[in-house]
Amino acid sequence: MSTTTVKPIKPWAASPKDRAMTGLSFFLSLAVTALIVETTPMKGKLAYFFLFFLSWFIIDSLFVIGKSGTKGVRDALAAKVTLLGATIVSLAVFSILWATVSRGIKGLNFNFLTENMRNASLFDPIGKGGILHAILGTLMLIAIAVFFSVPMGILTALYLTEIKGKAAPLIQFLVQAMSGVPSVVAGLFIYAAIILNTPLRSSAFLGGLALTILMVPTVTRTAQEVLNLVPRDLREAGLAMGATQWKTVALVVVPAARSGLITATILGIARIAGETAPLLFTVGVFDSYNFNPFKGDQGTIPTVVWRGLIGGTPESVQRAWTSIMVLLTVVLIMFITARAFGTKAMKKK
Amino acid sequence: MSIDAPAKAIPQPRKITTKPRVSDQIFRAIVTAFSFSALVILSLIAIFLLMKGFNTLKQQGIGFITNFEWSVVVDDGGVETAHFGLQAMLIGTVVISFIALFIAVPLSVLTALFLTFYAPERVKRILVTVVDLMAAFPSILYGLWGFFVLMPMAEYWAKLIHKWLGWIYIFDLPDPIYTRSPFIAGIVLSVMIIPIITSVSREVFAQTPLDRVQAAYALGATKWGMIRAVVLPFGAGGVVGGSMLGLGRAFGETVAVFSVLNIVFRTNFQILFTQGGNVASMIIQKWGEAGPSEVSALMAAGLVLFILTLFVNFLANSVVTRTVKSGR
């Protein structure tokens, strides 16, 4: 008796003929689009974009209808329409990134990162003055916000995941509600509560407090997610060894979730680094270094961008683009670091 | 062999209790106390804004919401007559937020469907990162981009819309000025809320019960047939909730809208015309030269905005939570 090996077949996979058809319809629609744009009054990138998708929908449908009927056509159309949606969204993102880099790079020079604006105004030619004071100011604000919001956020997350007290649903709801507080309201609140009631005037400290309000929900929600990923067995093992809950949390749960908690912090920082509205109420604007967080206005990157945008001259706008590029670079680096930490945390499990 | 070790006293059995030890009690007390910080902060915001805005609210009454005049006039005797009405701004906020939703919801749902069901693994990973990244862009960047990059393009789109659909009231306009319109502000906001709606929708779509998906395929459904029959009905609640989260964000957006919108205290439904309103941006705009009575009015405006966003967020979260639970 001879044995036959069964060769696995994939009847659903695209045959070379199908692939040829797909490619053909793609290039045919490109050609049709070019033809329409050249011969009719519809011109420009917009026309190219939409006419291409339209002709692709039609031509591909004609190809598919012979093989799979109207159901197949609808299926193929759905795939293309979702692709269209995703393409538009990606185009928007790349437009933003491209605009920032291509416009920002023109104003970047050594002075820009190493000097302040004490002897220069926004309207001076590029090359004079820089935003080091604003970079330091933003870092100071971030440090203050981290100091307050990370303990607050992580302890709230611990309450929601470890203690699970009676108030947990309420707290959960409030944290979600807090994540929707408009940034301008956070600024107004600090102004109303502190500047109008106490002798304290605008300073980095008050700005940090306003940013804390915006940062806490992000930290809490991310921290909660990572703490929930810590296996129950670890907690039970800790308790079974006779450790108290405090010891279990401090020596087992938190170390297990450490990289995730760092991710939570970084995501929180990325959330607040570019906030502008609250700073206008609480930090003010300043053109030089101010190393006292409790007294005096402070220069920050978002307010430099803001003033550059309002200023409206080519030089001030150029400064705005370059400053936002610096800020965005920092946010991007933090974001990628957070991702790296996050995936490491996932993989360990 | 003899046992002559001294007889040990049998240890008393340890008292078994469910009472946590002192260290645990302290730990729990501290964590619980901190967990209430959200409650404390939210109540403080409401209390202080109410306190500082109370004068205006008392003076203007319900007119604070229904009037559309905003002026402070000081006559020769130094007597101040102030009119503070938010109507135009509130309507403007709703108008641009709905334009944003109108653009963002279809795009987000399509993107979420693409990511969950169509994209190859590698494209999916990149695109998910890109969408998450979008959420981390500072809002002032959207303002800058909206003003310098989007506005010239959107002006052209607005002209096209006016040319073909100008006979509809909302696309008509009294003067051919297309810049800084609610339409453009709406597009900027839509780009800002797409990441929120996309990620919520994606999360909900991904939780579609697998048995229902497999059942649809087993009955011979195409992928689109499966999505229409199973995923969309299941995920509808999540999409609605995500859109409302986006709406809450759109209501409160300040800097980006301020950069691209011409704020005028007049109710305007002609979305292509350069005239609009937004409570949050108005606060920033009026802040610079505000006297004491106007500061009070701006605080009251902040309170209205705060309550509005809290309410929308509350609705959104309850919808999302209910949908996600129903799948399990």
Q: Residue A200 sits in a domain of what CATH number?
A: 1.10.3720.10
Q: Is there a contact between A163 and B145 if contact means CB atoms under 8 Å apart?
A: no
**What are the C-alpha distances in Å from B209 to residues A70, B97, B111, B215, B231?**
28, 33, 20, 10, 9
Mean pLDDT within B267-295 = 85
Residue A202 belongs to some domain of the structure = yes
Query: A276 and A306 share a domain?
Result: yes
- Percentage of chain A lying above the pLDDT 90 cut: 37
- Give the number of other Cβ atoms within 10 Å of residue A97's Cβ: 19
Which residue, A57, A77, A106, sits at the end of a domain? A106
A188 to chain B, any CB pair closer than 8 A? The answer is yes
The first and second tokens of residue A9, run together, are 């077949």
Which residue, A106, A135, A164, sits at the end of a domain? A106
CA gap A49, A30 in Å, rounded: 10
Q: List the alpha helices (DSSP H) in A105-131.
A: 110-114
Position with higher pLDDT, A26 vs B185: B185
- pLDDT for B46 equals 94
**What are the C-alpha distances in Å from B111 to residues A83, A85, B75, B300?**
7, 5, 57, 39
The first and second tokens of residue A52, run together, are 């291409």
Nearest CA in chain B to A246: B24
Asked if residues A240 and A149 have their Cβ atoms less than 8 Å apart, the reply is no
Residue A171 belongs to some domain of the structure = yes
Domain B88-326 = CATH 1.10.3720.10: yes
Mean pLDDT within B81-98 = 88
Closest CB from B52, B137, B249 relative to A192: B52
Q: Is there a contact between B24 and A309 if contact means CB atoms under 8 Å apart?
A: no
Query: A102 and A140 share a domain?
Result: no
Helix axis angle for B292-326 and B37-60, nearest 10°, is 130
Q: Is there a contact between B139 and A274 if contact means CB atoms under 8 Å apart?
A: yes
Query: A39 and A132 share a domain?
Result: no
Please report the number of interchain residue pairs, chain A to chain B, with beta-carbon separation below 8 angstroms: 259
Mean pLDDT within B224-252 = 90
Nearest CA in chain A to B115: A86
pLDDT band (50, 70, 90) for residue A34? confident
Residue A29 amino acid letter: S
The first and second tokens of residue A286, run together, are 């300043």
* Residues in chain A within 8 Å Cβ distance of B254: 182-184, 276-277
Nearest CA in chain A to B123: A86
CA gap B138, A329 in Å, rounded: 11
Query: A94 and A117 share a domain?
Result: no
CA gap A253, A42 in Å, rounded: 62
């009070």: which residue's tokens? Answer: B296
The first and second tokens of residue B78, run together, are 């130094």
Asked if residues B288 and B168 have their Cβ atoms less than 8 Å apart, the reply is no
Which residue, A71, A106, A141, sits at the end of a domain? A106
Mean pLDDT within B125-146 = 90
* Residues in chain A within 8 Å Cβ distance of B260: none
Residue A168 belongs to some domain of the structure = yes
The first and second tokens of residue B265, run together, are 């205290």
Closest CB from B38, B224, B299 relative to A178: B38
pLDDT band (50, 70, 90) for residue A8? confident
pLDDT band (50, 70, 90) for residue A186? very high
Pick from B189, B198, B224 the residue to mutate for testing the A interface (most A CBs within 10 Å). B224
Question: What domain count does chain A have?
Answer: 2
Residue A5 belongs to some domain of the structure = no
DSSP A181-195: --HHHHHHHHIIIII
CA gap B34, A253 in Å, rounded: 18
- At B101-119, the pLDDT tens digits run 999 999 999 999 999 999 9
B39 pairs with which residues across the strands?
none
Q: List the alpha helices (DSSP H) in chain B.
A: 22-35, 37-60, 63-66, 87-113, 121-136, 139-145, 151-165, 182-206, 210-218, 223-226, 232-252, 255-260, 279-287, 292-326
Query: A43 and A167 share a domain?
Result: no
- Give the number of other Cβ atoms within 10 Å of residue A230's Cβ: 21
- pLDDT for B328 equals 46
DSSP B189-255: HHHHHHHHHHHHHHHHHHTS-HHHHHHHHHTT--HHHHIIIIIHHHHHHHHHHHHHHHHHHHHH--H
Q: Is there a contact between A183 and B139 if contact means CB atoms under 8 Å apart?
A: yes
The first and second tokens of residue B252, run together, are 């409160």
CA gap A81, B107 in Å, rounded: 10
- At A300-322, the pLDDT tens digits run 999 999 999 988 888 899 999 99
Q: Is there a contact between A165 and B139 if contact means CB atoms under 8 Å apart?
A: no
Q: Is there a contact between B39 and A174 if contact means CB atoms under 8 Å apart?
A: yes
For residue A320, what are the domain limits?
A: 113-348
A101 to chain B, any CB pair closer than 8 A? The answer is no
Q: What is the mean pLDDT of chain A?
A: 87
Pick from B17, B41, B42, B309 the residue to mutate for testing the A interface (most A CBs within 10 Å). B41
Q: Is the pLDDT of residue A9 over 50?
A: yes
Closest CB from A86, A159, A339 relative to B32: A159
Q: Is there a contact between B114 and A83 if contact means CB atoms under 8 Å apart?
A: yes
Query: A250 and A218 share a domain?
Result: yes
- pLDDT for B326 equals 62
Residue A312, C-beta contacts closer than 8 angstroms, at least 6 positions apart: none
What is the least distance, in Å, from the CA of B5 to any CA of chain A?
31
pLDDT band (50, 70, 90) for residue B317? confident
The DSSP H or E segment spanning A54 is: helix A44-104
* Residues in chain B within 8 Å Cβ distance of A209: none
Mean pLDDT within A5-11 = 80
* Residues in chain A within 8 Å Cβ distance of B52: 192, 196
Asked if residues B161 and B210 have their Cβ atoms less than 8 Å apart, the reply is no
- At B9-47, the pLDDT tens digits run 788 887 777 788 888 899 999 999 998 999 999 999 999
Q: Is there a contact between A181 and B42 if contact means CB atoms under 8 Å apart?
A: yes
The first and second tokens of residue A32, run together, are 């049709």
- At B298-307, the pLDDT tens digits run 999 999 999 9
Asked if residues B140 and A302 have their Cβ atoms less than 8 Å apart, the reply is yes
- At A82-94, the pLDDT tens digits run 999 999 999 999 9
Nearest CA in chain A to B223: A75
Query: A43 and A174 share a domain?
Result: no
Residue A71: closest CA among B212, B111, B223: B223
Mean pLDDT within A228-236 = 90
Measure the CA dihedral A157/A161/A163/A167, to 10°.
70
What ipTM was estimated for this complex?
0.88
Query: A23 and A167 share a domain?
Result: no
- Give the number of other Cβ atoms within 10 Å of residue B16's Cβ: 5
Measure the CA dihedral B171/B176/B178/B179, to 10°.
-150
A244 to chain B, any CB pair closer than 8 A? The answer is yes
- How far the first Cα of chain A sits from its last, in Å, is 50
CA gap A328, A322 in Å, rounded: 10
Asked if residues A292 and A200 have their Cβ atoms less than 8 Å apart, the reply is no
Q: Is the pLDDT of residue A3 over 80?
A: no
- pLDDT for A1 equals 60
Q: Is the pLDDT of residue B276 over 90?
A: no
CA gap A220, A176 in Å, rounded: 10
Query: A89 and A199 share a domain?
Result: no
CA gap B86, B251 in Å, rounded: 14
Residue A10 belongs to some domain of the structure = no
Question: What HEC string does B108-127 produce?
Answer: HHHHHHHHHHHCCHHHHHHH
Nearest CA in chain B to A320: B144
Q: Is A7 helix (H, G, I), strand (E, B) or coil?
A: coil
Q: Is there a contact between B139 and A328 if contact means CB atoms under 8 Å apart?
A: no
> Hey, which bits of chain B come out as E strands?
70-74, 80-84
Mean pLDDT within A268-293 = 88
Residue A193 belongs to some domain of the structure = yes
Pairing, β B80-84 against β B70-74: antiparallel
- pLDDT for B215 equals 94
A199 to chain B, any CB pair closer than 8 A? The answer is no
Query: A102 and A117 share a domain?
Result: no
Residue B204 amino acid letter: V
Q: Is there a contact between A178 and B42 if contact means CB atoms under 8 Å apart?
A: yes
Q: What is the mean pLDDT of chain B?
A: 87
Residue A12 belongs to some domain of the structure = no
Q: Is A6 helix (H, G, I), strand (E, B) or coil?
A: coil
Closest CB from A79, A184, A327 relative to B252: A184
- pLDDT for A65 equals 80
pLDDT band (50, 70, 90) for residue B5? low
- At B168-185, the pLDDT tens digits run 888 888 888 888 899 999
What is the least distance, in Å, from the CA of B46 to any CA of chain A?
8
- Give the number of other Cβ atoms within 10 Å of residue A154's Cβ: 24
Query: A96 and A133 share a domain?
Result: no
Query: A21 and A71 share a domain?
Result: yes
Residue A219 belongs to some domain of the structure = yes
CA gap A129, A85 in Å, rounded: 43
